Every structure is written in C-alpha cells, then in structure tokens.
Copies of this chain bind each other. A is one copy, B any other.
Amino acid sequence: MKKQEELFLDYLTRKRLKNTSQRMIILKAFLRQDSHLSTEDFYLQLRKKHPGIGYATVHRTLKLFAECGIAAERNFGDGQMRFEVRHDNEHHDHLVCTECGRIIEFENQQIEQLQLDVAQKHNFFIKDHRLELYGLCQACFSNDQGNI
C-alpha cells in the first residue's frame, strides 16, 4: 500500500471517520493522476469510470486529503482551486503558461534560503509560501513569434 493511502486511513481512524468505497475510489484516482487538476476537472475525469460519485463527495474528499497532508491546494489565480499530490518534505513552485495552461514544477533551494533571509529581516515567521512564474512555455512562445 502506498504511503499516502496509509496516511489517509490513519487519519480516518484518528478522526473517527468512516472508510467508504467512494473515498477509496477517489483516493486511488487522485494518487494515479499527477497533474494539477481543478476539482471540476478531476470530477469530470472520475465520472467517466464512476458515474455514481457526486461532485460534493469529490470536493469533500479532496478537502480531506488536504487536511491529512496528502494533497496540497493550489490557486493559480484563475478562480479554480487545484489539488496536487504532496510528496513528503519536497517543496516545489510552479511555472504557469498563460497561453496553454501547462504547469511546470521546479525547486530552487537558493530562492528558499533568500525567502528565509527576507522573513528574518522583517521579524516574520514563515509558515508557508507561494511562488509562481507566469508566462509562456517554449511551445507557446515559438507560436507567438511565428504569428507576427
């Protein structure tokens, strides 16, 4: 069993929540996908195989995933919440293509360190951060050039 599955089951037990077939289906589907789907898109995907599962349940379950730490909520400013699988300790930020919506993950330890420096300078205790670079991915950039 995957580590995230264990974490989730533990969380259910701890909170005296119930282990339902819907939750397991959603969990497996969530761990299988590794992009940054919005609740809506994830629901539409899932519905193909499991038409019985309602949007509300998907939404509530994704929230549960976030609570127990196996999912991270992301908001890229397009008015849709997105969820991604969270792997332990690893933190990453995103390049977001404003043309095609492509999302590229990156890690940069130097930036993280500089953030800590900034926080310290302002006597600020960081709990979380978010860094997103918006622009054009290679493909869209080439296209744009070609269209001039």
Contacts and interface: CB of A to CB of B under 8 A. Distances in A.
Interface residues of A, number: 33
Interface in A98-148: 98, 104, 106, 108, 110-111, 114-115, 118-119, 121-138, 141
A134 B125 contact: no
A74 to B, nearest CB: 10
A51 interface: no
Contact of A123 (B77, B115, B119, B138): B138
Copies in the complex: 2
Given A106-B118, A110-B114, A111-B115, A127 B123 contact: no
Contacts of A128: 133-135
